[in-house]
Amino acid sequence: MGRLIRMCSIAAVFLTGVVVGTTVPMAVASTPDAQPNQVFELRTYTAAEGKHDALLARFRDHTMRIFDKHGMTNVGYWTPQEAPGSDQTLVYLLAHPSRAAADANWQAFIADPEWQEVFEASRVEGPLIAGLERLYLEPTDFSPMR
């Protein structure tokens, strides 16, 4: 229950930033007429012990580009400012045209030979991720993202 409350708190903080336009790239913030079925996917990764920097490097150097290749829109990436979590947590927000597209995007991403190579290479000294939480969100009828 505590993790759910923390996840909702994190979502509220980041979505507040999205609403006021401080954390969203202009390409997303300037399109209030987004697709009617568009969904946002909020993910929180907990890095394995000592693997936070390697996790961030994998996203920076590979994952974001491969997401783009498979129709996933990178909205934003964050790490907490305070402990606990500042040295082990990555929170990010993706946009998909629909929930069905999100499922198809993830299937294509996971099957991508480049991703499989990057994933295996990053796990040579053990897994990078110890925990994953995912929450699909849709804009409210009064959201600037709608």
CA-derived radius of gyration, the chain: 15
pLDDT confidence band for 84 (50 / 70 / 90):
confident
Counted domains in the chain: 1
Q: What is the CATH number of the domain that holds 47?
A: 3.30.70.100
Chain CA centroid to CA 7, Å: 13
Q: Are 44 and 10 in contact (CB under 8 A)?
A: yes
Nearest Cα residue to 74 out of 58, 91, 95, 43 = 95
| 31 part of a folded domain | yes
| 24 part of a folded domain | yes
Helix (H, G, I), strand (E, B) or coil at 63: helix
Q: CA-CA distance, 132 to 61, in Å (whole number)?
A: 20
| 142 part of a folded domain | no
pLDDT at 61 over 80: yes
Dihedral class, residue 14 (left if φ above 0, else alpha if ψ from -120 to 50, else beta): alpha
Chain CA centroid to CA 136, Å: 10
For position 25, what pLDDT does the model report?
Answer: 43
- DSSP percent split of the chain into helix, strand, coil, nearest 5: 45, 20, 35
| 49 part of a folded domain | yes
Q: Which range marks the domain in which residue 116 is found?
A: 2-137
For position 19, what pLDDT does the model report?
Answer: 39
pLDDT confidence band for 37 (50 / 70 / 90):
confident
| 145 part of a folded domain | no
